[in-house]
Amino acid sequence: MSAILYPGSFDPVTHGHIDVILRLRKLFSRVLVLVADSRRKQYLFSTEERVEMMQKALKTAGAKNGVDVFGSKMLTVDFAKKEKINLIARSVRTVADWEYEYAMADANRKLLPSLETLFIMADPKFGFISSTLVREVAAFGGDTKEFVPPNVAKALAEKYKRGRK
């Protein structure tokens, strides 16, 4: 397989996300990371901030050629069609993730029948990490370094420090 799309909100990107991207890159010649927006979510970081954090985190993690990061406010299926991608990767940590992701894959397939979804299991050492958990820890001034790359931990501390003034 040549290319795969890995979409997510990545608010913020975690060690688990980076692990999945690096594992996908071992299997595919090109991984397109889509930092996407959803109208049902309220984000801590702007799309541009999340793209920048993802790019820096991937560079620090040693991701080289073949991983490209994009920001988008369009439907994932529309982005996939525009980029001529027919395979999406979704990471799964829990049974709840599976139920949500299965429904999303079904909807995507109805919107774009040529689009397949590959489910990849989270590494167990990262399985408990979620962006929601990370934001909660950071909001109370906790140390997020165990959960996120250094640049993201710094951005979280700065974002919440400004909010507490």
Q: Model confidence over 30-78: pLDDT tens digits?
A: 999 999 998 888 999 999 999 999 999 999 998 878 999 999 999 999 9
Query: How high is the pLDDT of residue 161?
Result: 84
Q: Model confidence over 134-152: pLDDT tens digits?
A: 999 999 999 999 999 999 9
User: How many domains is the chain built from?
Assistant: 1
Q: How many CB atoms sit inside 10 A of residue 38's CB?
A: 11
d(CA 137, CA 141): 7
Residue in this structure with the two tokens 């594992």, named with its chain if needed: 23
3-state secondary structure of 165: coil
Residue positions annotated with a catalytic role: 17, 41, 93, 131
**The dihedral sign for the CA sequence 16, 98, 2, 113:** negative
**Can you give the residue range of the structural domain that contains 133?**
3-164
Query: How high is the pLDDT of residue 139?
Result: 95
Query: How high is the pLDDT of residue 164?
Result: 55
CA distances, 41 to each of 8, 37, 91, 118, 158 (Å): 12, 8, 19, 24, 21
Q: Which residue has the higher pLDDT, 162 or 128?
A: 128
Query: How high is the pLDDT of residue 51?
Result: 98
Query: How high is the pLDDT of residue 97?
Result: 85
Q: How confident is the model at residue 94 (pLDDT cuts 50, 70, 90)?
A: confident
d(CA 76, CA 159): 28
* 56, 150 contact by CB (below 8 A): no
Q: How confident is the model at residue 165 (pLDDT cuts 50, 70, 90)?
A: very low
Which CATH number does the domain housing residue 55 bear? 3.40.50.620
Averaged pLDDT score across all residues of the chain: 93
d(CA 7, CA 121): 15
Report the percentage of the chain scoring pLDDT > 70: 97
The pair of three-digit structure tokens given for residue 21, joined into one six-digit string: 């991207």
d(CA 73, CA 47): 9
| Gap between the terminal Cα atoms of the chain | 50
Query: How high is the pLDDT of residue 82?
Result: 96
